[in-house]
Structure 1
Amino acid sequence: MVGSPRAGPVVLLLHIGFVLIGIVNTLLGPILPLLSARWRLDDAGAGALFFAQSAGAMVGSALSGILIKRFGFLPPLVAGFGLMAVSTACLGFEPWVLGVLSISGTGLSLGLTIPTINLLISELNIGRRAAALNLLNLAWGVGAVSGPVLVPTLSRSVGFTIALLCVAAPLIVIGVLVRRSSVVLPVAVKAKGATSSGAIRLWITPYALLTAALVFVNIGTESATGGWIASYVQRLSPSSQLSWSVAPSLFWAGLLAGRAAAPFVLRRVRETRMVLLGMFVAVSGLVVLLLGTTIAPVLIGVGLTGLGLAPVFPTTIALFTERFGHDASRLTGTLFILAGLGAAVFPWLVGLASSHYGALRAGLVVPLVGGLVMIVLHAAIMRTLPSRK
């Protein structure tokens, strides 16, 4: 448990694993121009790749809840890290069918690992869930920032396939170490006599429904922005390869900085206020990004958007698990499925809008609308929490 000296090494291992998950989770965006050229995809076809990955993530999220309940936390993580390694390695091969299967496989592995680790860290840190989950997602941000630079740099030195193998190898190591761990961990589902009708009653509360909608829109907005920004900057300045390869890193660096600052901000500001402030910053960043006609303002807007979105997801999950206590283990799987659905739908909509209007700028209005909807949803959530004054 949290006070157990044996829990510390596993927690450290999971944070290292989350760095690697951050690399894999954000890999598709930076390599999208390469994949689009290799498979001759238009924006609608490229958007379908995000849908394939996120569809896998939804399936994995659904399975994670079942597997946690049946086997505990560790077996889903072992399976997830193993599948992630294989899928990442296979993405380097040429055939389109194998590539799509690999992208779907990475999504499935992300669905198995991300909800499991988030729930486990939350259960280990009762009383400081928001700070602990922001710290965990800070580790994810380290991978998200380094991946868009690391993989292209390695690709230029040793080739694309070898670069992906370099990402896959440590995933195997993490999976093996998790498999060999014998640390006593919290039981995932403590209310064993709970029924599905009880879960339905919890879900039909205004707070749960609004939170579900917020998670869907938040992850969709985050995925659409981070996934398409490299392609957007590439078209804005085709001759500047450095700019379009760095742009995704700036977005994830904003998330990294925001999640690093969140535990300190929470000492002075309530969780709900911090999230609302972040949403306004994100919307401002998206406006700057869309209005910018040169690289500099676009990159500034990218960074601001990442900074603003940083505290939204981990803090929302922390508040959700705090609100529902042990019942949260029965509900968070659905939240992560909705997160996967948002990550599938929003980037796909960006691609459709871009192909329809003939401009990726038009497609990126989708995450701007998402940011505005998030503000409305969170304001409604705050009204369901009268005790947080």
Structure 2
Amino acid sequence: MPSQPRSSSVRTFAVLHPVFALTGVLHTVGGALLPSLAVRFHLSDSTSGLLFLLYFAGTSLGALLCRRGFARLITIGFAAMICTCIAVAVCPRSLLAPAFLLLGISVGVPMSAVTLFVGRAYPARCAPLLTFLNFSWSIGALAAPLIAARVLVHHSYQAGYVLFAFASAVAALASALVLRDPPEPVRASADAHTITAFYLVAVFAFAAFLQVGIENTVAAWLPTYALRTAAAGLVMAAASTSFYWAGFLCSRGLSSLLLLRADPMRVFRIAVAVAFVSALLLEFAPSVSARNFAMFLLGASLAPTYPLVLAGFFARSRHTADSRWILFTAGFGGSVLPWIAGFTSTHTGSLRTGMLIIPAALLLMAFLLPTLRNAQPAAPTTP
């Protein structure tokens, strides 16, 4: 009998890893395909930034929709992604804004539901399983600019989104056949320390707001930034961002081992400091090689920060369901900061100025570190 649950668990994760990696591809490929989209519709940086605002706002709304029935939501999200990817591929300029919003919602639902599904189904092993899943997500994110570069050699962004529609269909089918929700747990009694719980959520939500905003700004604008600073063409600009994702992927794998021995807050402080320095280096890099090194270093330093924010919250919160508010706020930050970068670029005439939002947000994160460290753990639940 014990072999049956183990076999079911193997099948479950055999599906979860590739579908979660697909959300990583979809979440980051928009930046790599943006130059092709911008050329097709003659988009300004401000308009492009608005599309990212709507997309990332959609992912935030998708996270908020994940309340229960997470396996079912994963299937529904990928089924919706078939339609939204095709919509982005074929819609005219006037419909780009709603298409990107709906695409964000369809990506945000399964991306958040996978995390919450694992947290509910495997509470005792949640941390290592989520770390490994995020490693797969990072593989997808790393593959995104390479896939985009391959597509753009002979085609435009439209072929890319049609390809992702087919991949979403496969993911929806696999999820429907394999994933099953565990029984709903009995809800705990209401927390008497409401103000303390709200403060805890607010502090970590703001940290997630900044962290995901930084990541999404990098993912959204780095290909365009590389195109303008190196003047190497659409394909090379899309491929060059793989330096960032290579650093991100390597660090996410190594940091999971490092955290077995090191203090998480110390790792977090070092990561924020290194990210700030590498963001400044990216701004003022004197050569293409220096810029590529800065991309790698920025990806390596940002990789552990989001899991550390979530881990810090889970260690202090009594109700894991509150994490959906962290995911929602993180998605909101992911929509606002890329838009601010595009808005600033348009009104100053320099994308380099818009990219200053990255070190500015990292500086805010550094100021937030003492508050995160001093946030009090929740009182133990009484039986």
TM-score by length of 1: 0.89
Give the 5 Å matches for 1:226-245: 226-245=219-238
User: Please, which of 341, 345, 350 is the counterpart of residue 359 of structure 1?
Assistant: 350
Paired amino acid for 1:229: L
Does the 8 A contact of 2:317 with 2:377 survive in 1?
Answer: no
Give the 5 Å matches for 1:143-182: 143-157=140-154, 160-181=157-178
Partner of 2:369: 378
Structure 2 counterpart SS, 1:185: coil
Structure 2 counterpart SS, 1:268: coil
Does the 8 A contact of 1:122 with 1:321 survive in 2?
Answer: no
Partner of 1:109: 106
Distance in 1, Cα, partners of 2:192 & 2:10: 34
Partner of 1:328: 320
- CA RMSD of superposed structures (Å): 2.5
Q: Per the alignment, do residues 170 and 386 of structure 1 end up closer, same or farther by CA in structure 2, a change over 3 Å counting?
A: closer
CA deviation after TM superposition for structure 1 residue 112, in Å: 1.0
Moved more, 7-16 or 301-310: 7-16
Distance in 1, Cα, partners of 2:193 & 2:32: 39
Partner of 1:31: 33
Paired amino acid for 1:379: P
User: Identical aligned pairs, as a percentage?
Assistant: 24
Partner of 2:187: 191
Structure 2 counterpart SS, 1:302: helix
Does the 8 A contact of 1:19 with 1:141 survive in 2?
Answer: yes
CA deviation after TM superposition for structure 1 residue 199, in Å: 9.3
Distance in 1, Cα, partners of 2:163 & 2:252: 27
Structure 2 counterpart SS, 1:132: helix
Structure 2 counterpart SS, 1:269: coil
Give the 5 Å matches for 1:272-311: 272-311=265-304
Does the 8 A contact of 1:130 with 1:319 survive in 2?
Answer: no
User: Please, which of 113, 116, 119 is the counterpart of residue 116 of structure 2?
Assistant: 119
Partner of 1:61: 63
Q: After the TM superposition, which parts of structure 1 deviate over 6 Å for at least 4 consecutive aligned residues?
A: none
CA deviation after TM superposition for structure 1 residue 155, in Å: 3.7
CA deviation after TM superposition for structure 1 residue 47, in Å: 0.5
Paired amino acid for 1:219: V
1:74 aligns with 2:71: yes
Structure 2 counterpart SS, 1:27: helix
CA deviation after TM superposition for structure 1 residue 36, in Å: 1.6
Structure 1 counterpart SS, 2:366: helix
Distance in 2, Cα, partners of 1:301 & 1:145: 16
TM-score by length of 2: 0.90
Q: Per the alignment, do residues 353 and 163 of structure 1 end up closer, same or farther by CA in structure 2, a change over 3 Å counting?
A: closer
Partner of 1:315: 308
Give the 5 Å matches for 1:11-26: 11-26=13-28
Structure 2 counterpart SS, 1:26: helix
Distance in 2, Cα, partners of 1:10 & 1:44: 42
Paired amino acid for 1:59: L
Distance in 1, Cα, partners of 2:369 & 2:126: 19
Distance in 1, Cα, partners of 2:280 & 2:230: 19
Q: Per the alignment, do residues 253 and 310 of structure 1 end up closer, same or farther by CA in structure 2, a change over 3 Å counting?
A: same
Does the 8 A contact of 2:283 with 2:355 survive in 1?
Answer: yes
Q: How many residues matched?
A: 376
1:258 aligns with 2:259: no
CA deviation after TM superposition for structure 1 residue 308, in Å: 0.7
Q: Per the alignment, do residues 124 and 271 of structure 1 end up closer, same or farther by CA in structure 2, a change over 3 Å counting?
A: farther
Q: Which runs of 5+ in 1 are unaligned?
A: none
CA deviation after TM superposition for structure 1 residue 105, in Å: 1.7
1:10 aligns with 2:12: yes
- Cα deviation, 1:332-371, whole Å, max 9, x if unaligned, reads 2211111111011101111111112211111111111111
Q: Which runs of 5+ in 2 are unaligned?
A: 379-383
Partner of 1:209: 202
Does the 8 A contact of 1:155 with 1:161 survive in 2?
Answer: no
Partner of 2:381: none
Paired amino acid for 2:43: L
Distance in 2, Cα, partners of 1:154 & 1:380: 45
Moved more, 223-232 or 265-274: 265-274
- Cα deviation, 1:98-130, whole Å, max 9, x if unaligned, reads 433332122101221122111222344445544
Q: Per the alignment, do residues 198 and 20 of structure 1 end up closer, same or farther by CA in structure 2, a change over 3 Å counting?
A: farther
CA deviation after TM superposition for structure 1 residue 323, in Å: 2.5
Q: Per the alignment, do residues 97 and 3 of structure 1 end up closer, same or farther by CA in structure 2, a change over 3 Å counting?
A: farther
